Structure 1
Amino acid sequence: MDGSWVSLLPFLIVIPIAILTKQVQPGLFAGLLLGSFLKHPDLLGGIKTLISYIVSSLIVTNNIRIIIFLYVFAGLINLTKMTGGIKGFVDLVGHKVKTKRAAMMLIWLSTIGTFSNPNFRIVTIAPIMKLLKRRLPISSQKIGFVIEVTSNPVVVLVPVATAFVGYMVSIIGTALQRIGVSDTPYSIYIRSIPFNFFSLVILAMGIYYSFIRDFESEEPLVGSPDALQEEEDLQKCLRAYEKETPIKPWNLILPLGVVLFLTLFLSWWDGHTKANSFWDAFIQADALGVMLEALFITLILSFLLYFFQRFSVAKLVTHFINGGNELVSVILMLTFVWALSAVSEDLGFSHFISSHLIQWIPPAFIAPVVFLLGSALSYFIGSSWGTWGLLMPLGVTLAQQTGTSIPLVIGAIFASGTFGAFASPLSDNTVTLCAILDLPAIDYARSKLKPSLIAAGISTLLFGIASLFLK
């Protein structure tokens, strides 16, 4: 059975089930279940094997570190909501924007403080833009488009202090381990960033539609409300927060500033003794370990800050746990991805790819094909993380066996997931944004499909060109 076409079956059933259910987890679990029974084709043996792969995946040091990071980071973000950080930030800038160009500039500049997570960014900036739309001639579609352009496509390009970095480095590390590549996963991720062509192209298009050309026909200007009415509407827009939440912008600005500074400093500190230059120190650093250290220090300082502001300890703990629990579904998906990768490898996945599949795809077409396949998949399931987890083992194996640049193919995988997270009506980013801006999700997704496809087409060409020059 090892090295035969059977090793493809776990992956082959993942995609149709994910598309059918519009959820990644059921497909991953089905693939893992099938792989376990292929290894031990009897009832008890298959179940024991499944449990064994899950447990083995969870006790890997880097895997458990990324789970802790995601949980703690989500808990910290929820604390900034509860203590008025996000609401304060909205109030701080809400009434200072007077022109359409200034409104667009606000969306772009707000990325500096909200790049840690796409949905976090959306719930921070979308409510204030909804209010500003009442007195500025900007369509809801254009507001949504620019906010989304500066969300997922930006976050995937930032190599520190985001909820994405740990996950991206983790799945790269798992894929590299399976093919016996000893390069540092974080250094490979850094090298793949310039090849996330879709993110770079859609950002350029976002600048074009922000400041040069209207995205959609502009809606008529609604009469400007007075100051009291504006404040009332602003409070109604903040549906993501409790009504009694205070206005304390520094409760957001300080934690984000501290975690960013500590991540950068500790990255240099951890790697400087092993590096030959300042920039090489960041590559040599233990990225996951450093991010955890920075996050825990920030969490402790934030708890002290909120405690001295007389927030209840019980309330702080409750909101921290509630925030972490919001990512349980992501943690479950990660666990299944790790376990599925392991069982597929044990079935001879890499050997079969090297012996058969690479004969069908010329090396120059590996990156473009991976990007197009991932883009189609991510559009139908609406999940960038799910797409990355599903494609990373396949893409990295194809790159290694054909001599194609591994960072290039990894860049194509990340670009493809970003396409779906941006363009799909099933994306949680799109759903969250439409709920806040009162936009019909399908119509809004259709309005941004044309620029999305143009960016995808340009990206495909760039991947083809890059493939000819990189090995």
Structure 2
Amino acid sequence: MDNFGILSLLPPLLAIIIAVCTKNVIISLFSATFIGVMVLSSYNPIESVKILIGDYFFAQLTDSYNAGVLVLLVFIGGFIALMEKSGGAYAFAQKVTKFIDTKPKAQLSAWFGGILIFFSDLGTPLIIGPIFEPIFDKLKISREKLAWIIDSTASPIAVLVPFIGWGVYVMGLIQKEFEVLNIAQSDFTAFMKAIPYQIYPILAITMVPIIAITKLDFSQMQKAEKRVESTGKLHWDNSNPSRKFEKLSDLDIKNSKASLVTIPLLVLFVTLFGILIPQGFPFKKIEGSEFRIALSTGYLFASIVLMALMSIYKTKTFNETFNIYINGMQKMMYVSVTLVLAWSLGSIIKNMGTANYIISIMQGNVSGAFIPAILFILGACVSFSTGSSWGTFAIMMPLAIPMAVAMDVSIYICIGAVLSGGLFGDHCSPISDTTILSSTGAGCDLIDHVKTQLPYALINGGITLICYLIAGVINNEFSLVIAIFMLFLTTFTLNKINSKKTLQSTVSDN
């Protein structure tokens, strides 16, 4: 039997339901995996626990590929912690803000700052937000606009970068499915080829400069902008903004310099490419294990240089710096546990034949051209309900890749659809960590941020859905060009409508 029938749907459905109810990805993944093992072991609870630990958890941890990913995540965690605590990002951003004297410049500078701090999606809101608050306030730009810009450059940038935690995590999920399906391709190659199909995050990033330059605001964001412009009020009367930083000095580390960001990143890239280029990169295929070794080496060297610079500049003592590095490594434990559980759930889904069962239902009833759009919608629903894009990737990837292979759909489009769906739901969800941190960093009420961001997210989400329907038919990267064209066309149309309404309002007032 290649599947357990309708029972094979139990693990992924339970993962979604429990995640929605508990808002806890680890509990949901563990519970779903355990129930799957129960079904496979004839419902013997004691035997199920033994099998779960021995045949799944231990097996995942002792796999050489998995071990390499977990080690790399630990190095990344230590480096990010040093970056955030060094004050270098703050010092760098302060240099950028000196020549900002117009609204478009302020918005574009915040957008560019969010892109520069690509190495930490959770660090972006808490670094960029407090720096740009006084600038936005001075130029009478709403805090809601700042929160939207931050949210549009945190996760959307992170999910496109292969050499930080997001990319490593996603490649780990991809590689597991490739091993099961005997696909002779590296996870890095697949990730890079899927980037043009990550339509939603690319649209989210692209929309910010369009709105900033055209000065186009609509729906709730337009009301927020008018409130600040006409009354000077930073918040609605009923708002209760939650703040992590009450003053800029909380981010201003003594003796900090911009070089604390630029030099370590330079060391990281020089080390990475210095190791990969002699192996033929980017013209020859590089094995995933070699890429992870190069990355781990780069992050280690960059961290050593950063610790040395922090000691030389006397921003922290050596002991403080070392403790920051170790604490950063420890914080990656949550991510590592999530990844091990995700790998285990993927194995359960394979052993229960979940993908085979779904494919058997769809074949003959659903055209393969609709698969990317379906994956995008499902991913968005799961992410919105759980507030976790990473949890969504863990649940959807073991279903998406086998479906793509069986129904002769591009694997890269399906990977992009899963990642886009996770990001779209994450952007719309009031319980997403990046949504919460973006409102916190901008000093904006959470619900106000959700209400003002939602129309922008829905426009991008609608365009993305249409383009996945197109991508399923044309099966090439031109779908991204169509998406960007549609975004420009939509904003142009809205701009014309807004201008017409403004003109009519002026005429009626006169």
CA distance in 1, matches of 2:107, 2:214: 11
2: CA distance, partners of 1:13 / 1:239: 46
Q: Distance between the aligned counterparts of 1:23 and 1:146, measured in 2? A: 27
Counterparts of 1:29-108 in structure 2, within 5 Å, are: 29-40=30-41, 41-52=43-54, 53-108=56-111
Q: 1:319 aligns with which of 318, 324, 348?
A: 324
SS of the residue corresponding to residue 417 of structure 2 reads helix
Hey, what does 1:15 align to over in structure 2? 16
8 Å CA contact retained: 2:19, 2:25: yes
Q: Evaluate the alpha carbon distance shift between residue 354 and residue 334 of structure 1 in structure 2; reply closer, same or farther with a 3 A threshold.
A: same
Query: Match for residue 461 of structure 1?
Result: 466
Query: Are 1:99 and 1:136, in contact at CA under 8 Å, matched by a contact in 2?
Result: yes
**DSSP 3-state at the match of 2:137:** coil
What does 1:407-426 align with in structure 2 at a 5 Å threshold?
407-426=412-431
CA 1:73–1:196: 2 relative to 1, 3 Å: same
- In the other structure, the counterpart of 1:146 is 149
Residue 447 and residue 78 in structure 1: after superposition, are their counterparts in 2 closer, same or farther (change >3 A)?
same
Which residue number corresponds to residue 271 of structure 1?
280
Q: Does 1:297 align with 2:301?
A: yes
Task: Choose 165-174 or 61-70, whichever is displaced more.
Answer: 61-70
Uncovered stretches (5+) of structure 2, i.e. residues with no partner:
234-244, 477-510
After superposition, residues 68-217 of structure 1 pair within 5 angstroms as 68-159=71-162, 161-215=163-217, 216-217=221-222
Contact kept? 1:173, 1:185, Cα under 8 Å: yes
Matches within 5 A, 1:350-429: 350-429=355-434
Q: For residues 264 and 150 of structure 1, do their structure 2 counterparts lie closer, same or farther at Cα, with a shift above 3 Å needed? A: farther
* Bigger shift: residues 197-206 or 452-461: 197-206
Q: Give the alignment of 1:325-340 within 5 angstroms.
A: 325-340=330-345
2: CA distance, partners of 1:176 / 1:419: 26
Alpha-carbon distance in structure 1 between the residues aligned to 2:69 and 2:323: 22
Q: How far apart in 1 are the matches of 2:293 and 2:125?
A: 28
User: Distance in 1 between the 2:280 and 2:46 partners?
Assistant: 47
CA contact (8 A) 1:141 1:444 kept: yes
Q: Partners of 2:299 and 2:210 in 1: how far apart?
A: 36
C-alpha spacing 1:199/1:283, structure 2 compared with 1 (3 Å): farther
Whether the 8 Å contact between 1:87 and 1:246 is mirrored in structure 2 is: no
- After superposition, residues 246-261 of structure 1 pair within 5 angstroms as 246-261=255-270
1:14 and 1:318 map into 2 onto residues whose CA distance is 36
CA offsets, 1:117-164, max 9 Å, x none? 2212222211111121231121111111122222222222233x4221
Q: For the Cα contact (< 8 Å) 2:369–2:473, is it kept in 1? A: yes
> What is the DSSP-based 3-state SS (H/G/I as helix, E as strand, rest coil) of the residue aligned with 1:164?
helix
The answer to whether the Cα contact below 8 Å between 1:150 and 1:203 also exists between their aligned partners in 2 is: yes
The total of aligned residue pairs comes to 454
Separation in 1 of the partners of 2:334 and 2:250?
A: 20
Tell me: CA distance 1:467–1:240, structure 2 relative to 1, closer, same or farther (3 Å).
Answer: farther
Q: Equivalent residue of 1:98, what SS?
A: coil
Contact 1:74 1:327 in 2 (8 A): yes
Question: Tell me, what secondary structure is at the counterpart of 1:157?
Answer: coil
Aligned amino acid, residue 64 of structure 2: T
- Report Cα offsets for 1:6-49 as digits up to 9, x if no partner: 22211111101111112222111111110121222212211111
CA contact (8 A) 1:85 1:247 kept: yes
Distance 1:123 1:137 in 2: 21
What code does the residue aligned with 2:23 have? K
Letter in 1 for 2:101: K
Distance in structure 2 (CA, Å) of the matches to 1:334 and 1:10: 16
Q: Tell me if structure 2 keeps the 8 A contact 1:271–1:284.
A: no
Contact 1:77 1:323 in 2 (8 A): yes
- The SS at the match of 2:305 is helix
Match of 2:151, SS state, is: helix
Pair 1:134–1:282, CA change in 2 (3 A): farther
The offset of 1:284, in angstroms, is 5.7
Question: Match for residue 491 of structure 2?
Answer: none
Fraction of identical pairs, as percent: 25
> CA 1:106–1:158 in 2, change beyond 3 Å: closer, same or farther?
same
| Counterpart residue number, 1:4 | 4
Q: Any conservation in 2 of the 1:113–1:253 contact (CA below 8 Å)?
A: no
Cα distance in 1, alignment partners of residues 249 and 196 from structure 2? 37
Gaps of 5+ in 1: 224-234, 273-278
1-structure distance, mates of 2:171, 2:63: 14
Letter aligned with residue 266 of structure 2: G
CA contact (8 A) 2:89 2:117 kept: no
Deviates more, 1:251-260 or 1:377-386: 251-260
SS of residue matched to 2:140: coil
- Say whether the 8 Å CA contact 1:358–1:401 is kept in structure 2: no
How far residue 112 of structure 1 moved from its aligned partner, in angstroms, is: 4.9
Name the amino acid aligned to 1:4.
Answer: F
> 8 Å contact 1:107–1:125 — kept in the other structure?
yes
Q: Is the 8 A contact 2:380 2:426 kept in 1?
A: no
Contact 1:358–1:398, Cα closer than 8 Å, also in 2: no
Alignment partner, residue 25 of structure 2:
24
- Contact conserved, 2:86 with 2:253, CA < 8 A, in 1? no
Q: Is the 1:135–1:222 contact (alpha carbons within 8 Å) kept by the matching residues of 2?
A: no
Quick one: distance in 1 between partners of 2:94 and 2:65?
Answer: 39
Q: Who is 1:228 aligned against?
A: none
Residue aligning to 1:226: none
Q: 1:240-274: per-residue Cα shift (whole Å, max 9, x none)?
A: 64x764432211222123223333343323334xx
Q: Distance in 2 between matches of 1:348 and 1:465?
A: 29
CA contact (8 A) 1:91 1:247 kept: no
Residue 112 to residue 19, structure 1, CA distance change in 2 (3 Å): closer
Q: In the alignment, what sits opposite 1:433?
A: 438
Name the structure 1 match of 2:500: none
